[in-house]
Structure 1
């Protein structure tokens, strides 16, 4: 029986680790996780935050994930979008999922990342229905 999700892995091109660190640790605020020595030889980098772990593995014939993507829950999407904008990352707002503020961004190698904030976390009565627009 499945009991949870341990991590999501995305691919990245050789030599992209410094850019990935800047985005996932710097802009998104995740902590880098040391890889076990045998796995570190393969390259790539791992990140962890509350309730989420992302592994970025090196793929020689890399192609970015444009449709498949992780959906990351956040607690202040407008604030994160502003911080990402300051780092030169464009957010694409999306209002198609009721109950969430939501946008998409691309990591430095082109992988699609979905960022979501439950509206119930913003509303005192917890109704969380519909979307509230924000500027990116």
Structure 2
């Protein structure tokens, strides 16, 4: 069977260089992701790309109108979920807590463009805590 691996996640931002710079500040500066060059054939699209781990990428693209009420999100597994929460809070963002998953402390936060990002720390196998097993 073919192995399937997540290659990238794309999230929208408003058009313009100002929002591209805000993407760099949030994802690059605050979260510490490494920006990577966009392929030369699509630089005119105003994309900002970041590396997440060894092979996965985050693509921040320009879009005029997005649905901020959606529950769509992506999740970043971080080394210290509470330190990340504090860094976001210190930077003026407002993390919130979803329903708990045992073995996976987590929270959500909106990026500068109202996209939802989940942050988690995998500390144990949640299946160990399932009742009836």
Is the TM value for this pair above 0.5? Answer: yes
Aligned equivalent of 1:30: 33
Is the Cα contact below 8 Å between 2:38 and 2:49 reproduced in 1?
Answer: yes
1:111 aligned onto 2:115: yes
- Mapped partners of 1:107, 1:128: distance in 2: 30
Is the Cα contact below 8 Å between 2:97 and 2:107 reproduced in 1?
Answer: yes
1:79-136 superposed Cα distances (whole Å, 9 cap, x missing partner): 111111121111112342221110000000100000010123xxxxx89967xxxxxx
- Mapped partners of 1:29, 1:66: distance in 2: 26
- Mapped partners of 1:63, 1:44: distance in 2: 19
- Mapped partners of 1:105, 1:42: distance in 2: 26
Is the Cα contact below 8 Å between 1:71 and 1:115 reproduced in 2?
Answer: yes
Aligned equivalent of 2:96: 92
Aligned-residue offset at 1:2? 4.5
Q: TM-score, normalised by structure 2?
A: 0.83
Find runs of 4+ consecutive structure 1 residues off by over 4 angstroms. Answer: 126-130
Q: TM-score, normalised by structure 1?
A: 0.81
Bigger proportion of residues as helix: 2
Change (3 A) 1:128 1:85: farther
- Mapped partners of 1:58, 1:32: distance in 2: 16
Segments of structure 1 that go 5 or more residues without pairing to the other structure are 121-125, 131-136
Aligned equivalent of 1:3: 4
Is the Cα contact below 8 Å between 2:101 and 2:126 reproduced in 1?
Answer: no
1:43-122 to structure 2, matched below 5 A, reads 43-51=46-54, 52-64=56-68, 66-120=70-124
